[in-house]
Amino acid sequence: MRTLRNSLRSSGGILIATLLLFLLSWLVQPESLGQGAMSGMIPFAAILAIVALGQTLVIQQGGIDLSVPGVVSLSGVIVAYYSSSQPGFQGTALGLAIAIAFAAALAAGVINGLLVSKARVAPIVATIGTNALLYGVNLRISGGTPVQVPASLSEFVDYKIFGVTTLAYLAVIVTVIVSFIIKRTVFGRRFEAVGANARAARAAGVVAVNYQMAAYVGACLLYCLGGIFLAGLMSLPSAFQGDTYLIPSIAAVVLGGTSLFGGAGNLAATVIAAVFLTQLQQLVLTTGASVGVQFLFQGGAIIVGVGVYSLRLNRLTGLLRKLGAQGPTPRIAGGPTA
Amino acid sequence: MEDCKMTSKHKTWLLTGAVAIAGMAAGSLPALAAEAPQWCKDIANGIYCAEPEATPPDFCGTKEIRVALADGFADNPWRQMTTAAAINEASRCPNVTGWTHTDGQGNTQKAISDVQGLAAQGVEAIVVFPDAGPAMLPALRDAFKQGSAVVPYRVKVGGKEGEDYSVFVGTKFYDHGVAWAKWMAEALGGKGTVGYEGGPAGNSESVEKSQGMHDVLKDYPDIQWIGQDPFEVTNWDPSMMAKSITALIAKYPKIDGMFGDLSIPILTSGAFQRAGRDLPLIAGEDANGFGCEWEKLHADGKESSFQFMTTSAEQWNVRLAIQWAIAEATGGKVDQPLIIKDTKGGEHVAANPGDKLVTNFVMDDSLKGIVFCTPELPASAGNGTSLTTEQTLAALKGGL
């Protein structure tokens, strides 16, 4: 619980921004907060949150993962094609199909991890390559033809507990588990140490490569989970369903305050940022704005968000103090210089 | 004076000669009840080959040629069924001796080099789906000038018939919009809210359909157009469609009707169901899943507001293009109507003799009790393409 509280405290910025966004929604377009709109928005926010959590792990290691679309799309395709509900296609039980999807994601994560940590390929290059590989496998299986997932998966995804979809609860559970592992276990501490400074961690006796691998593998497993949920949500997912998740996943991580250069990551903030981005998109859509305006808003939000975090906060508060002070800033003995 | 009576030696020669002539004549006739062409049998064990006909159709001509289909992009069910239909159509001509299918993989440069490659190989009849539009024109022109019959279809490339390519075979998207809107207006009793889930921003197919819809709906002042005009941009992606529908649901207390190019996700993506809203009436392009969903919702006397109508998705458009390409390459004549068979055994006239634009037809109309659902086929299959269920299933499994 302390972990969650600490995380929420340091998520102050994005939490305030999200609350402001909901306030704005209520003022400008109250219907976007109605039951109908929320029931449509929350599942997507939950899926983006899970995918963005994976991206956070990779970015914490100073990397970036462009194989998100490949894993998300392939997971959905595997579950749809390998489960037995689809007429004309022979399949197996849903559970086995899901296991195959996770196995494929595991393989993708291992490939990413090996390329980045052992072969020292730049993450952006390695993960682009893996993404292409994943789409190759995808098209081999699907040929681009969408196929329906079993009704049981769709029903599970749409099931509501106290009026809220299961996906929301699952996203929270996944966030708590991943946060616990990263923030409260020895493994997690070392993970963040490697992300902050791999050389120093190595000097302290930590095998950095293992933790870098773990980031990419963990990420792909999370993308797979997101992809399976997305396939269940869509019921008839396209073979390219994951394409729209790459940029938002990175945006959520950045807006959540995790530095693109690696180090400590704020998982709870990423999840809040995922909600922020999804609600922003839904709000703009509800106003009836054209596609061009939608892109302007989303891009603008990301630029502002990144800009706020990039400004050195010392400089900002110093500047504000200089503007507001009547005389020279009083020096506090022994305190930090402005 | 020679004896003119036939000796036995003469009779033997005569008989031999007669047999030889008969043999040569038989050999030069097209293989009748016999065999599909070898190139066709090489594709998926010949499942797409047409039944050999007593007389090959006039568009075949007699010259021996090879045929190619150059796709800008091949990985979706529509393209897969189209390729199968193209193979099926080309195999009606015994004088077609070779077949190639190229896939531009969504890459304009590759699509261009595919066409250039086919021309360089001297393929005599080339049908092109020019996804890249006018960017393909130079490649088409070069192939045409090198002597191939070139037929772009469905996507306009500019240029001139007879100068830059042989013939352009197209469809009238405007008419789809008109058919959808007319059905919707009648089904709604002239009153209600309608929205249109289109494709990528600015795509000509959705633009033309929207024009058709508006031209009909302007006579129905009580029908309110909701959402974006000319259409909601969804890139034909189910998750974007779901989000767009959620936004409409948020804003409008009732959505009575929806139009959609790719229409099944309006149902299957669950946006209406999650919001606890009644399903709207839907007009769109035919897909097997639509009819099957309707049957599920209305099974066992269940009440459902959902009714729908579809026009043919035209995975058979390529058949006319193939006919024109072969005719242009061999001197044949496209002088027969293009008749498309659906899986219920119905027949539809999709083009009159000599037409270059196909005419669409209505497939489902649940209000009239016409609903297509073939349980053995997946949701994205088409039921009106003149392909059999086995051929459709094989096509959707890929490998064409």
pLDDT tens track for B221-247: 999 999 998 999 998 889 999 999 999
CA distance B248 to chain A (A): 7
Question: What percent of chain A is helix, strand and coil (3-state, nearest 5)?
Answer: 75, 0, 25
Q: Residue B112's domain spans which residues?
A: 38-168+315-336+389-396
Q: Residue A75 domain-assigned?
A: yes
pLDDT band at A12 (very low <50, low <70, confident <90, very high): confident
SS (H, E, C) B101-151: EEECCCCHHHHHHHHHHHHHCCCCEEEEECCCHHHHHHHHHHHHHCCCEEE
The pLDDT, as a whole number, for residue A321 is 73
| Residue whose entry in the numeric block shows the structure tokens 């199968």 | B84
| Chain B CB contacts of A286 below 8 Å | 247, 250-251
pLDDT band at A64 (very low <50, low <70, confident <90, very high): very high
| Residue whose entry in the numeric block shows the structure tokens 């790459």 | A246
First to last CA, chain A: 35
B269 → closest Cβ in A29, A39, A235: A235
Hey, which residues 174-193 in chain B have their CB within 8 Å of chain A? Answer: none
| Chain A CB contacts of B380 below 8 Å | 145-147, 236
A299 touches chain B (CB under 8 A): no
β-strand partners of B281: B257
The set of residues, in sequence order, having a beta carbon less than 8 Å from that of B392 and lying 6+ positions away, is: B81, B84, B377, B381, B382, B385
pTM value is 0.85
Q: Residue A98 domain-assigned?
A: yes
B164 and B177 fall within a common domain: no
A32 → closest Cβ in B250, B396, B399: B250
B79/A281 CB distance under 8 A: no
Closest CA to B373 of B300, B321, B298: B298
Q: Residue A19's domain spans which residues?
A: 2-324
Q: How far is CA A210 from CA A62, A118, A195, A214, B68, in A?
A: 15, 10, 12, 6, 52
Hey, which residues 272-291 in chain B have their CB within 8 Å of chain A? Answer: 273-277, 289
Instruction: Tell me which residues of chain B have a pLDDT lower than 70.
Output: 1-34, 398-400
The pLDDT, as a whole number, for residue B400 is 66
Query: Going by DSSP bridges, is the β-strand pair B257-260/B281-285 parallel, antiparallel, or unpaired?
Result: parallel
pLDDT, chain B, mean: 90
- Give the CATH number, domain containing residue B131: 3.40.50.2300
B183 and B254 fall within a common domain: yes
The pLDDT, as a whole number, for residue A180 is 94
CA distance A83 to chain B (A): 13
What's the total number of domains in chain B?
2
Query: Is the Cβ–Cβ distance between B263 and A146 less than 8 Å?
Result: no
CA distance A97 to chain B (A): 18
A327 touches chain B (CB under 8 A): no
| Chain B CB contacts of A230 below 8 Å | 239
By CB atoms closer than 10 A (0-12, 13-18, 19+), residue A131 is buried
| Cα torsion A113, A118, A122, A125: sign | negative
B250 touches chain A (CB under 8 A): yes
| Percent of chain A surpassing pLDDT 90 | 55
Q: Residue A330 domain-assigned?
A: no
A286 → closest Cβ in B250, B268, B270: B250
Hey, which residues 183-212 in chain A have their CB within 8 Å of chain B? Answer: none
A233/B270 CB distance under 8 A: yes
B163 and B189 fall within a common domain: no
A236/B268 CB distance under 8 A: yes
Hey, which residues 199-228 in chain B have their CB within 8 Å of chain A? Answer: 201, 227-228
B276 and B320 fall within a common domain: no
Cα separation, A68 vs A14, whole angstroms: 23
B194 and B180 fall within a common domain: yes
Query: Is the Cβ–Cβ distance between A279 and A22 less than 8 Å?
Result: yes
pLDDT of A32 above 90 = no
B63 and B160 fall within a common domain: yes
Q: Residue A338 domain-assigned?
A: no
